[in-house]
Chains A and B, each alone.
Chain A
Amino acid sequence: MNPPTTATLSIPIAWQFQPGVPDAQPALGVAGEGRIASEAPIHEPRAATRNACKVCAPLGACVVFSGIENCVPFLHGSQGCATYIRRYLISHFREPVDIASSSFSEEDTVFGGARNLRLGLANVAGQYTPQAIGVATTCLAETIGEDVPRILAEHGAANSGGPELVPVSTPAYAGTHVDGFHRTVRRVVEHFATPTPPHAGINLLPGFVSPEDLRHLKELVAAFGLPCTLLPDYSDTLDGASWPEYQRVQPGGTPTRAIRRMSGARATLELGHTLLGSGADTAGRWLHQTHQVPRMPLALPIGLRETDAFMAALGELAESGCPDDIQRERGRLVDAMVDGHKYVFGKRAALFGDPDLVIGLCSFLDEIGVRPVLCASGTRQAAFEPAIREVLDHSEADDLQILTGADHARISEVAREVRPDLIFSSSKGYPLARELEVPLIRVGFPVHDRIGGQRLLHVGYRGAQRFFDLIVNTILERRQDRSETGYSYL
């Protein structure tokens, strides 16, 4: 469709207001010429968050609850939060995501929402017949000081035989989706795990990875013959098959009876570099402190070295070597890295998104000679910068910039300075990639502008293989497209 001739369509350049466009006239006496790039240092707005590189804590909670068998996520607060979060998740996973809400009205904010919460729980129980309802608080419920654990306890006592009710406090003003995710995993374990005799199984706490990642992790653990409780497991619930008949709750997820027994496991493998430090109040730590389950903290197995470490941990637990198939997969990865190393060496990369994903990718890029020049996370974490420096053995650029708690506006500012050749981020990095005219390699969450975000594989040798091929081919494609000759043989 063409715009009318009276209007000129300018291709949007990233997110900048273009003061030069014809209809941006001075506003009410304010000099409206806008600034030009050559002007003296400009004070960039810092107080507001501009184009956040994070979403809110209840989203993380909903993802975790979605990964528990026959569990319905429920947000205590106004319904808008639940609706927004549903749409955001549906656009990425392309699966039904039913999140209930207590639908606060004006009076509830004054008199409290307990009545609505109880009614909501009863209705969810009636409509979905779930085994569990995971109740996360929105900012509103937290601000007016709702005592959700108490309300749930009372409701549960009055409705014995009803679904298990799991509260988690997730005010967004105290944490992002990543924090909400980890906090909810911990709450779920605290809620369900009961003293259990020791058994041969292990616990695997993967963090916020893709359903494809979850499937691959399960496959790797199974290859070592280790029984395992993966929590959460939304590999089916958020990436399920076409339905033969209606499903109230998508099949799959970690069974609650398995979560109960996590306390008797031989060990907990807890993934995520940012959880390594002593500060993090994680589920793995709780299992260790309360039930003496040994905790084995590891980075996300992204790239060769971190996957090696993961395999070594599994081998230690299984008291066996790495299975042949997996070793051959590793061999092929190294072989491919050799085949393609020249194309990627020295390329400059900008990476941004959830901290552990960025750290993992950084580690992998370091293995193949790509130099990260900008690493940023929207979630603020003190462990982020040291972790990045730690994983960079070979390729720390002099001009490497590390930002934590950054928004996309800040990330874009820095990216314009460091001029990356490649960008790794969620779909939200697209405007920047477009502006800088560099390829975007989509990773993590959300992927809203491509299909298959739920099937992106980041972990294991196989994930690294996929990434490596993708990076090399992206560079080759670019080179080919831009060459005058257009060789079909490179």
Chain B
Amino acid sequence: MINVLEQRRAQIHRKGESTAPLVCDRKSVAGSVTQRACAFCGSRVVLYPIADALHVVHGPIGCAAYNWDIRGALSSGPQLHRNSFSTDLQELEVIYGGEKKLKQSLGELIDHYRPKAAFVYSTCIVGVIGDDVEAVCRQVSREKGIDVIPVASEGFRGTKKTGYQAACEAAYKLVGTGDTSSIGPCGINILGDFNIAGESWLIRRYFEEAGIEVVATITGDGRVDDLRRCHGAKLNLVQCSGSMTHLAKLLERDHAIPMRRVSFFGIEDTAAALYEAAKFFDDPGVLERTQVLVNREVGRVYPELKRYRAILEGKKAALYVGGAFKAFSLVKALKLLGMKTVLAGTQTGSPEDYALLREICDDGTVIVDDSNPVELAKFILELDPDLFIGGVKERPIAYKLGVGFCDHNHERKIPLAGFEGMLHFAREVHASVMSPVWQFVPRRAARAVGQPTRTPPTPVNHPAHAPGDGGRPASIDGALHVNSED
């Protein structure tokens, strides 16, 4: 019997059993082994894909080392962002201050790499040892002639959400400093997509085909100059609930650019996002091209999705992800595959998020805020899902208990956005759920007692698809073969 910590009870609900709002937006309970990270991590996630900027982490080495080149955010040009630069503070600097080392580090790195701008991230101890990071940044900026921007990302300030906000503030320092004269009348920014496995490219291609100009993808495949001129767009499409909303709000406040919340995960949401932009511009040509595109793309992926659905119908999924918007999209995407969501949790959802989540989930679905490994294991045992969707930290819990797992985090290397992303997602889910390995896992094997020992697994001939393979529906064996248009 696994018990939930008393202090955490109010952060767990089962739909249909209570109508009281879920308690959330709280700081994690000490010792609960939260799956949440820190503010610094949030800032790093958001600004990381800006590929021609220098990113320097001011603090001891670990904070920088643990996220060196783990993210799947791609750049079509410079690769500077993939480095991990740290001031690697040592004992004496902790005692006497790290400003000198920071200044020297910045100077040398800027001379050497010639970045377009630099971001300086503060980690926890920087706030405590009293370094005036802003002053150092101002000074270096003057000396080197580039923007050197401090990011107030001390980990203890809060969760990733706090860090997103700090990152938006930092990025906003660049906005409005570039020339917008070459931007046409139908320009948009896409915020909150990080070009994981090339997703921003995919989305950009959709809009360009429809005749909508993408001024900046923020921050996927990001460039300093794109940020400088992004205020020349007419509309901001904001994906991923928490991360970039603040920047969009700043753009709305200062530049009167309206924002729309969208998601590019799943067929419905991707189509809705494209139509949202098309309708905004009220241009019949754009709308028509969008329709053609959506019809074609849906037609391309739908037959294969249907086959997967036939196999996956009725399977149960559990999801525990960072932000709530991803959870909404996933619930819908799973529905499309015939699957039922039995657990929906997020690290940092807001009250409105959870209200909406409750609305779109079936009765009996467990909804949880800021969960931990012990609870997640408990939910797996009670709800018995066939699939768990989460990040690397959730994976071993699922695997140890014999449950399939899909990575839907920034470390993944497979594009899941857009229409073809849905196909990748379906293949992932299929490969996770239908693998014959689960029959040997003790927890499941125990259940099969009494059944013939050699039940042949459902024959699945899984398409070998590598990330970046062009996303074409691979031709698979007879049962699953899809007549794609190529």
Contact = CB atoms under 8 A, between A and B. Distances in A.
A1 B145 contact: no
Interface stretch (B11-19, B25-33, B426-434): B25-33
Contacts, number: 326
A17 B62 contact: no
B172 interface: no
B111 interface: yes
A45 B66 contact: no
A139 B65 contact: no
Given A49-B85, A143-B94, A244-B443, A103 B29 contact: yes
A23 B147 CA distance: 18
A122 interface: yes
Interface stretch (B283-291, B326-334, B394-402): B394-402
Interface in B42-72: 52, 56, 59-70
A27 B79 contact: no
A18 B81 CA distance: 12
Given A79-B37, A87-B392, A140 B467 contact: no
B260 interface: no
Contacts of B147: 28
Interface stretch (B114-122, B185-193, B355-363): B114-122
A229 to B, nearest CB: 27
Given A17-B114, A143-B94, A98 B373 contact: yes
Contacts of B104: 47
B88 interface: yes
A37 interface: no
B60 A173 contact: yes
A152 B252 CA distance: 51
A274 interface: no
Contacts of B39: 80
Contact of A48 (B5, B109, B471): B109
B279 interface: no
B157 interface: yes
A243 B400 contact: yes
A94 B373 CA distance: 14
Nearest to B199: A1
B63 A81 contact: yes
A18 B34 contact: no
A17 B115 contact: yes
B470 A1 contact: yes
Interface string B148-165: 000000011110000000
Contacts of A21: 77-78
A48 B108 contact: yes
Contacts of A12: 75, 79, 82
A192 interface: no
A119 to B, nearest CB: 5
Q: How large is the interface on B (under 10, 10 to 19, 20 to 34, 35 or more residues)?
A: 35 or more
A3 interface: yes
B128 interface: yes
A248 interface: yes
B128 A143 contact: yes
B31 A122 contact: yes
Best-surrounded residue of B69, B79, B127, B146 (most CB of chain A within 10 A): B79
Contact of A4 (B80, B124, B201, B374): B201
Interface in B330-360: none
A246 interface: yes
**A-side binding surface: helix, strand, loop or mixed?**
loop
Nearest to B446: A244
A46 B112 CA distance: 11
B176 to A, nearest CB: 15
B255 interface: no
Given A47-B108, A49-B61, A123-B31, A109 B88 contact: no
B84 A50 contact: yes
B38 interface: yes
B5 A123 contact: yes
B67 A84 contact: yes
Contacts of B83: 15, 50-51, 409
Contacts of B204: 4
B239 to A, nearest CB: 17
Given A21-B77, A244-B446, A27 B62 contact: no
B113 interface: yes
Contacts of A51: 68, 83-84
28 contacts: A1-B198, A1-B469, A3-B74, A4-B204, A6-B208, A18-B79, A21-B77, A24-B52, A24-B116, A43-B111, A46-B108, A47-B105, A48-B88, A49-B85, A81-B63, A83-B393, A95-B396, A101-B30, A101-B33, A103-B28, A109-B127, A122-B31, A139-B124, A139-B125, A172-B62, A173-B93, A242-B442, A243-B400
Given A30-B145, A48-B108, A127-B374, 18 more contacts: A1-B197, A17-B52, A27-B114, A47-B101, A47-B108, A48-B86, A49-B64, A78-B124, A79-B34, A80-B40, A90-B395, A120-B31, A121-B31, A127-B32, A139-B124, A139-B125, A176-B61, A409-B83
Interface of B: 2-3, 5, 7, 27-41, 52, 56, 59-70, 74-80, 82-91, 93-94, 101, 104-105, 108-109, 111-117, 124-125, 127-129, 144-147, 155-158, 197-199, 201-202, 204-205, 208, 221, 223-225, 372-374, 377-378, 381, 391-393, 395-397, 399-402, 415, 420, 440-443, 446, 467-471
Task: In the A-B complex, list the 5 residue pairs whose CB atoms are closest, starting with the nearest.
Answer: A80-B38, A56-B62, A120-B31, A123-B31, A120-B30
